[in-house]
Amino acid sequence: MTKFTRRRLLALAATGAASAVLTGCSTSSGNRTSYAAPSFPAMPPPSLGNDPAFGDPAMMYAPVNDAGYEIPPVPFQNIDPRFYRQVVPDPTGEQPGTVVIDTSAHYLYLVSGYGEAIRYGVGLGRAGFEWAGRGNIQWKQTWPRWFPPNEMIDRQPELEKYRARQVPRTNIWEGGMQPGVQNPLGARALYIYQNGKDTLYRIHGSPEWASIGKSVSSGCVRLINQDVIDLYSRVADGTPIVVTSGLPTSGRPTVSQIPSGVLRI
């Protein structure tokens, strides 16, 4: 059984579910660990003009074998095409390499050069609307393990088997849900920090493709697993991120839309 240090456990335990059954992205702030902000910006993506990652949705959302996990195909015909992964004119006004989440439209943008951005459709839960501002993707994880918060387990006793457990007389923790295609965090998780502290706000994959473009009862910001794998490959630790409730027609979000240092819980 995989074991974890207390520091890593606290970060993972705050990570949320992308399932309508497993509710909540985080229920409490818990202990937070500070990290120094990187001194360099994320590298901008290359020109997207001939990138094979875009175009035919049957190819984009085909089955994938990733690290031994078999991700099933997505029935993309049942998803509004505007939520497919695609290259669009950049509406954000942000610097290349920046991630911008527009919660009002259920879009995530990765700003490229050349006046372009990659746009992904996202699903949002209650927690997905609670944070707005500027921060950084401080670290990323492939096929993360999910630790439901104790408060969630108290409400849903069937999750008891996933409770985090401390090994007696050590600083080692074990438990949690094993990584896999049915894990609420999906294939990848990106952890958002602000001013060196964990916001408890996550971008992660999800097996629930039908929730993309919608607001349901649980989770932070979730993408189709094939899309979160693509996003993960394009951003580095330290990538700047902006979360806003809407992009004005002029492009760059206004100060009132993106308050500095605001955490709304």
Q: What is the pLDDT of residues 220-247, one digit of tens each?
A: 899 999 999 999 999 999 999 999 988 8
- Of the pLDDT bands very low, low, confident and very high (cuts 50, 70, 90), residue 39 is very low
Tokens describing residue 93: 């006004």
Residue 105 CA to residue 119 CA, distance in Å, equals 11
Residues present in the chain in total? 265
pLDDT tens figures, 124-145:
977 656 678 999 999 999 999 8
User: What is the pLDDT at residue 127?
Assistant: 62
H runs (alpha helix) in 61-168: 150-155
User: What is the pLDDT at residue 171?
Assistant: 80
- Of the pLDDT bands very low, low, confident and very high (cuts 50, 70, 90), residue 155 is confident
pLDDT tens figures, 62-115:
999 999 999 999 999 999 999 999 999 999 999 999 999 999 999 999 999 889
For each of the domains in the chain, give its residue range(s) and CATH number, in order of start. 35-143+184-244 (2.40.440.10)
- For residue 40, pLDDT over 80 is answered with no
Quote the pTM value: 0.76
Which helix (DSSP H) or strand (DSSP E) does residue 8 occupy?
helix 6-13
- Beta strands (DSSP E) in the chain are 4-5, 64-66, 69-71, 86-89, 99-102, 107-111, 116-121, 123-124, 133-142, 165-166, 172-174, 188-194, 197-206, 221-224, 239-244
pLDDT (average), residues 6-23 = 42
Average pLDDT, rounded, for the chain? 79
